[in-house]
Amino acid sequence: MNMKEYIAQAEKDLLHTYNRFQIVLDKGDGVYLYDMEGKKYLDFVAGIAVFALGYNNKEYNDALKHQIDKLLHTSNYYYNVPAIEAARKMKKASRMDRVFFTNSGTEALEGAIKAARKYAYLKDGNTDHEIIAMNHSFHGRTMGALSITGNPKYREPFEPLIGNVKFADLNDFDSILANVTDKTCAIILEPVQGEGGLYPATEDFLTRVRALCDEKDILLIFDEVQCGMGRTGYMYAWQRYNIKPDIMTSAKALGCGVPVGAFMMTERVAQNSLTSGDHGTTYGGNPFACAAVEKVFDLFEKDHIIEHVRELTPYFEQRLQELADKYDCITERRGVGFMQGLVFDRPVGEIINKALENGLLLINAGPNIIRFVPSLIITKENIDEMIAILDNCIVE
């Protein structure tokens, strides 16, 4: 079948929960993807911030091929070496104490919610505890993660959700205080909101929230699914200010293409929350997924990925700002590291579609923001190529 025929077949067979771009991708190499007809695309989406190391990385591929020939799955009734090694390296990178591997970011959020509620339950035996989440946040589409996602359009069709969730505003500490009660067990936020518009949390806000949580024995949960794994120039975004959470989630670039996530916690939370039988997963932490995680951490260190992001961020921001200064329709550039956004005064769908036609992959964050979450291996030349294509698309 040709590309159009495959797309027609997919529309018959797949549940229509995505408005997909009308291409069938076939292979990738470096920061480029190719469709079935051989057309080349510069990729500034990276599988939605997943492919930190780019496509077709030989060392990464070889590690997975090696594990395929050994052992793919065992269940968590048994130990396996890749999971042990991946957990050790993840602890070092995250500065957390305990790791639970999941299959996705949203599953990691489910585990974080359960851990926080169990922690509070063990303190007083009550089950009416509350969680404060942020407006405009996005944490996933399962019922628990959806319950703490701060966008009513995602929640309303599926209500009632888990309940006892309140919403405050990122970087507005007074809105946090207005929602805190003696039932508050956790405050959850993204250190950089992704889907919500590329908004970074400020140091002052995070510092005050951390102090409040310490004062009232409330658990602070950071969702680092998108902004983690080097994207902000730090392995995890909270490390920029050294404001450590009690529980943290990670996914996306954690596996660089293999579906895997994790939630982590401090020893204090681990000793006073989830115990045997409280939480589980059949596939989570299997040898194949953890071989990917282990190799990702090795390559981040070997190839100095975080240093590269820090070195190139000023140039990336400069080129985006030049574009923003050039066009009145662009009202703002915002973001951190390789997690950037251009805010337009109109919907950006037409520009993104035009970019696709011209060999550039982009996505939005809301109707009027173009989001840039490329592989962390991009070069100045890749940035220049992206800017040139985008510039022409805006003109058109």
Instruction: Kindly report, residue by residue over 177-228, the tens digit of the pLDDT.
Output: 999 999 999 999 999 999 999 999 999 999 999 999 999 999 999 999 999 9
Confidence category of residue 309, pLDDT binned at 50, 70, 90 = very high
- Measure the CA–CA gap between 314 and 300, rounded to whole angstroms: 20
| Residues 212, 127 within the same domain | yes
Query: At 134, phi and psi to the nearest 5?
Result: -105, 140
Residue 396 pLDDT exceeds 90: no
Residue 62 belongs to some domain of the structure: no
Average pLDDT rounded to a whole number, residues 117-134 = 97
CATH number at residue 233: 3.40.640.10
| Residues 237, 357 within the same domain | no
Tell me which residue of 252, 359, 352, 256 sits closest to 25, measured CA to CA.
359
Residue 170 belongs to some domain of the structure: yes
Q: Per residue in 239-267, pLDDT tens?
A: 999 999 999 999 999 999 999 999 999 99
Average pLDDT rounded to a whole number, residues 147-176 = 96
- What DSSP string runs through 79-141? --HHHHHHHHHHHHHH--SEEEEESSHHHHHHHHHHHHHHHHHHHHS-S--EEEEETT----S
Mean pLDDT over the full length of the chain: 97
pTM of the model: 0.97
Q: At which of 302, 318, 352 does a domain end?
A: 302
Please report the pLDDT score of residue 330 as a whole number: 98
Joined tokens for residue 191: 């250190």
Residue 65 belongs to some domain of the structure: no
Please report the pLDDT score of residue 249 as a whole number: 98
| Residues 379, 276 within the same domain | no
- Measure the CA–CA gap between 237 and 94, rounded to whole angstroms: 10
CATH number at residue 38: 3.90.1150.10
| Residues 22, 129 within the same domain | no
Tokens 């975004």 -> residue? 237
Cα 371 versus chain centre, distance: 13
| Residues 210, 180 within the same domain | yes
pLDDT above 90: percentage of residues in the chain: 99
Residue 104 belongs to some domain of the structure: yes
Q: β-strand 219-223 against 199-200: which pairing, if any?
A: unpaired
Asked if residues 287 and 67 have their Cβ atoms less than 8 Å apart, the reply is yes
Asked if residues 376 and 305 have their Cβ atoms less than 8 Å apart, the reply is yes
Domain span at residue 160? 71-302
Number of separate domains in the chain: 2
Q: At which of 302, 337, 362 does a domain end?
A: 302
| Residues 39, 97 within the same domain | no
Q: At which of 282, 302, 322 does a domain end?
A: 302
Q: Per residue in 60-110, pLDDT tens?
A: 999 999 999 999 999 999 999 999 999 999 999 999 999 999 999 999 999
